[in-house]
Amino acid sequence: MNRLLDYFKIGPVFAYFLRVFRKPDPNAPTSANLRMMHGINRISIIMFLFCVCVMIFRACTR
């Protein structure tokens, strides 16, 4: 049972969201491609959360 519960832990997901929107480390190596990738990840996370909110709203109003 514990092994099954390990697959459904969502704590690391929220930790990733916080890590993505944090200010970048100034000493970390960076390039244009890496910055674009992180920007696209931020946009996709925001779009996903917005769509989940819309789906929950639509399900509740039916």
Question: What pLDDT does residue 52 have?
Answer: 94
Tell whether 26 is covered by a domain: no
Tell whether 8 is covered by a domain: yes
Write out the residue range of the structural domain in which residue 47 sits. Answer: 2-20+31-60
Question: What pLDDT does residue 1 have?
Answer: 63
Number of domains in the chain: 1
Range 11-23 burial, b when 16+ CB lie within 10 A, else e: eeeeeeeeeeeee
For 10-57, how does the pLDDT look when each residue is reduced to its tens digit (9 = 90+)? 777 777 777 777 777 778 777 888 889 888 988 998 999 899 999 999
Tell whether 53 is covered by a domain: yes
Examine the pLDDT at 5 and tell me if it is beyond 90: no
Question: What pLDDT does residue 48 have?
Answer: 92
SS3 string, 7-22, reads HCCCHHHHHHHHHHCC
Tell whether 35 is covered by a domain: yes
